[in-house]
Structure 1
Amino acid sequence: MRILFVHQNFPGQFPHLAPALAARGHDVLALTAETNQRPAPVRVVRYASPPQAQATGLGRTYSEMAERGWRAARAARVLRDRHGYVPDVILGHSGWGETLFLREIWPDARLLVYAELMYRTRGQDVGFDPEISPGTDEGRVSTVARSAHLVQALVQADAGLSPTRYQADSFPPELRAKLTVIHDGIDTDTVRPDPAATLALPDGRVLRAGDEVLSYVSRSLEPYRGFHVLMRALPEVLAARPHAHAVLIGGEGVSYGARPRDAESWKARLLAELGDRLDLSRVHFLGRVPYPTYLSLLQVARVHCYLTYPFVLSWSLTEAMAAGKLIVASDTEPVRELIRDGHNGRLVGFFDRPALADALIRGLAGDPYAARLGAAARKTIVEGYDLRRICLPQLVGWVESAGHPAAA
């Protein structure tokens, strides 16, 4: 088949799926933004990046996504008219608007979308954390408006794909019926426990597996991933464990929420709030790092902390589980899909700072159940989320069946 991937940041969620389909003899092509310079595992063509959004107010998001969709459709038209390219299957991420008008260019192609999450006004991130973003009528109306392109994309699609049940269930029932749940997959041959792992810090210190190391990973250090909750727990944790080190990976911008009004970043705001209560000689901010550094941290850590609003689940949780770590995580719905308290990790209330501090202290001190919990965490990923043995074959089958779940 001719299979077209569409993603403004390709390979995005498809670094393994696209080349796997090519290896099976399919003609695989990717359509991506001209600004995307990431290495691609298959041939790519590019569409012109849309201009800065001109719309304001409630229509801003749809205007921006529709313009991107039109740019993608114009590139698709060139492929069709100049090169005779007609795909059998299109798989694109619904979140960026790129699939909105592809049906008009290739009406006979089977259109599939990666449906990552549907914005909801209640029971999800909106209003979850009153300190940061209190639920208001204006906020809920804005959320509804920002959902328009997601609804349109899935309505037009023949079928959709979500990585977790929580994320699939964020869509309304009439659209949920179109979705198949298959995780992106974790390479458990690469992400595994390593008792010989080491991590060199910028100050020259070398941390080793077995040391009292607390790890925290987020694309950005922000409230959506509980950065503020962890930071406020750290003074108590470090005071109780005088030889422990906390190592945090993540950028200082925002990926999902808003910047603080009174500081240049959430990191700056929390450091100012905590002042000299936090021993910064034992708190190490690495920023964004290459994958091998990130993996070394997971393998070195004695305890991994993962906190999240009810929102998209992070790969860092599943990879920390694959590394066999003792996980201390927030008792929020997306986490409960993978972790059962006392079985393969420890769960604490997202806002329960004393419980979080206590669980982290016990973990760093040598939780007597840590080995069992870490082994169970890895078993969860190996048996249900392994990339090459489980998820990738399912994903390949789903695409080759053009999104028919019975054949996937």
Structure 2
Amino acid sequence: MKLLFVHQNFPAQFLHLAPEMQRLGHDVRALTDAANRNPSPVPLLRYDFKPAPVEPQHTRLGRNYTTMSDRGVTVARFARQLRAQGYVPDVIYGHSGWGETLFLKEVWPEARLLVFAEFYYRGEGADSGFDPEFQRRGFDQAMIAQGRAAHLGQALLHADRGISPTLWQADSHPPALRRLIEVIFDGVDCDRLAPDPAARFTLPDGRQLRRGDEVLTFVNRNLEPYRGYHIFMRALPAVLAARPQARVVIVGGDGVSYGQPPKEGTWKDVFLDEVKDRLDLSRVHFTGKLPYDRLVDLIHVSRAHAYLTYPFVLSWSMVETLAAGTLVIGSDTAPVAEVIQDGVNGRLVDFFDVRGWSDALADALARPEAYLQMRETARQMAREQYDLRSVCLPRQVELLTRLDRA
């Protein structure tokens, strides 16, 4: 088939699928923003998008749709040029979140369109209003959240199928859209993540951590409230007081992936400043963002890994950590509880229970032998349900093949 991936930051979710489809003999290309500098496993087609400034007082609840649909128009016009040159894909697979797929059926009506339906914003029951410290809950906020979903609904309505990585993310969509969605996780490489007794991780100060050391880890793309950084930092003083040999490694950037930035500075510094007088900072190590190989090394030396999230998109890092056989203590929020069963393949703690987090993390560091069965169960579950090569990639390939033959 002629297969076109569409993502402004390609390869993103298609990192493994695109080269696999190429390996299977298909004509694979990717359509992406000209500003994207990520290395690509397949040939790229680049559109140039320079969004016009959005005036909130004029666009009001439509400001998000304005930006996303403007990108969609740019992509569609570029696609018309491709069609004029004779390029017509059989199947298009794009992420719905950026507006890129909105008008592609107008250009290629004969193509089958699959959209990656990652999340559907709604007024209540998900991330909106979940954390009263940073979010207001009310009618206006519900309408704002609903407004952010306009382009997501349109993208699915014009698609032939949708795909979501977890049941909870699929179920965030209203019933009329949910029936279009199949649930297939992106996949993690369980072989690459297999426990490594010889693993070493070098800290920013040059010291090395080894498997068996008392290491607590926290990993996210950016350190921010959506991923529970504030709760984790508030739990740390009691953890370090209880475990005088423990070291804490915190991975993530200073930016904001979700939600709003602080009024001043970075979320990292806001919550570090809140507790630093009660921390032994010589045992708390911030690494910034890490290359994947180093991240895997860190997971392998970790004795306990904390993962928190609002009811929102689940991070790959949590499933990767389970696949590595490292104990995960996760927030008892719906996307996490879909994967972790408390006391079976990990631990769950109420997102806001700072004392509960301190106690759970300190116990995991103090009694690693008590959690061996959970770690083994977690790795086996990851291999059976989320493995890239044996489970997820074959299912993704089958879906694309089925669409091509429809």
Q: Which range, TM-score by smaller chain?
A: over 0.9
Shift of 1:55: 3.7
Q: Is 1:137 the counterpart of 2:139 in the alignment?
A: yes
Q: Is 1:61 the counterpart of 2:90 in the alignment?
A: no
How far does the alpha carbon of each residue in 1:314-369 deviate from its partner, in whole angstroms, 9 at most, with x for none?
00100000110111111111011111001000111001111111110011112432
How far does the alpha carbon of each residue in 1:140-166 deviate from its partner, in whole angstroms, 9 at most, with x for none?
211111110001000111110000001
In the other structure, the counterpart of 1:251 is 253
Q: Is 1:309 the counterpart of 2:310 in the alignment?
A: yes
In the other structure, the counterpart of 1:290 is 291
How far does the alpha carbon of each residue in 1:240-289 deviate from its partner, in whole angstroms, 9 at most, with x for none?
0001011000011110011122x311111112211311211111110111
In the other structure, the counterpart of 1:13 is 13
SS in 2 for 1:255: coil
Q: Is the 8 A contact 1:162 1:180 kept in 2?
A: yes
Q: Is 1:344 the counterpart of 2:341 in the alignment?
A: no
**Distance (Å, rounded) in 2 between the aligned partners of 1:183 and 1:6:** 18
SS in 2 for 1:25: coil
Summarize the alignment of residues 4-403 of structure 1 with structure 2, pairs less than 5 Å apart: 4-56=4-56, 57-81=60-84, 83-261=85-263, 263-402=264-403
Q: Is the 8 A contact 2:90 2:404 kept in 1?
A: no
SS in 2 for 1:63: helix
How far does the alpha carbon of each residue in 1:108-152 deviate from its partner, in whole angstroms, 9 at most, with x for none?
111110000000111101111101112132222111111100010
Shift of 1:403: 7.8
**Distance (Å, rounded) in 1 between the aligned partners of 2:311 and 2:117:** 16
**Distance (Å, rounded) in 2 between the aligned partners of 1:372 and 1:190:** 21
**Counterpart code for 1:232:** R
SS in 2 for 1:368: helix
**Counterpart code for 2:262:** P
**Counterpart code for 1:228:** H
**Counterpart code for 1:35:** A
How far does the alpha carbon of each residue in 1:178-219 deviate from its partner, in whole angstroms, 9 at most, with x for none?
000000111011012111111101111111111000011011
**Distance (Å, rounded) in 1 between the aligned partners of 2:137 and 2:368:** 38
SS in 2 for 1:401: helix
Shift of 1:302: 0.3
Shift of 1:49: 1.6
**Distance (Å, rounded) in 1 between the aligned partners of 2:329 and 2:86:** 53
Shift of 1:52: 3.9
**Distance (Å, rounded) in 1 between the aligned partners of 2:404 and 2:373:** 38
Shift of 1:51: 2.1
SS in 1 for 2:235: helix
**Counterpart code for 1:39:** P
Q: Is the 8 A contact 1:50 1:71 kept in 2?
A: no
**Distance (Å, rounded) in 2 between the aligned partners of 1:228 and 1:137:** 26
**Distance (Å, rounded) in 2 between the aligned partners of 1:130 and 1:247:** 28
SS in 1 for 2:329: strand
**Distance (Å, rounded) in 1 between the aligned partners of 2:242 and 2:38:** 43
Distance 1:52 1:300, change over 3 A: farther
**Distance (Å, rounded) in 2 between the aligned partners of 1:368 and 1:171:** 41
**Distance (Å, rounded) in 1 between the aligned partners of 2:265 and 2:359:** 31
Alpha-carbon RMSD across the aligned residues, in angstroms, is 1.2
TM-score normalized by structure 2?
A: 0.97
Single out whichever of 340-349 and 361-370 deviates more from structure 2.
361-370
**Counterpart code for 1:298:** I
**Distance (Å, rounded) in 1 between the aligned partners of 2:399 and 2:246:** 46
Q: Is the 8 A contact 1:55 1:63 kept in 2?
A: no
Q: Is the 8 A contact 1:53 1:63 kept in 2?
A: no
**Distance (Å, rounded) in 2 between the aligned partners of 1:277 and 1:136:** 36
**Counterpart code for 2:13:** Q
Q: Is the 8 A contact 2:193 2:296 kept in 1?
A: yes
SS in 1 for 2:14: coil
**Distance (Å, rounded) in 2 between the aligned partners of 1:177 and 1:275:** 49
**Counterpart code for 1:131:** E
How far does the alpha carbon of each residue in 1:64-105 deviate from its partner, in whole angstroms, 9 at most, with x for none?
001111111111111100x20011111100000000010110
Shift of 1:54: 2.5
Single out whichever of 139-148 and 337-346 deviates more from structure 2.
139-148
**Distance (Å, rounded) in 2 between the aligned partners of 1:275 and 1:285:** 13
SS in 2 for 1:357: helix
**Distance (Å, rounded) in 2 between the aligned partners of 1:306 and 1:51:** 35
**Distance (Å, rounded) in 2 between the aligned partners of 1:275 and 1:18:** 45
**Distance (Å, rounded) in 1 between the aligned partners of 2:368 and 2:79:** 56
Q: Is the 8 A contact 1:50 1:67 kept in 2?
A: no
The unaligned stretches of length 5 or more in structure 2 are none
Q: Is the 8 A contact 1:69 1:97 kept in 2?
A: yes
The unaligned stretches of length 5 or more in structure 1 are none
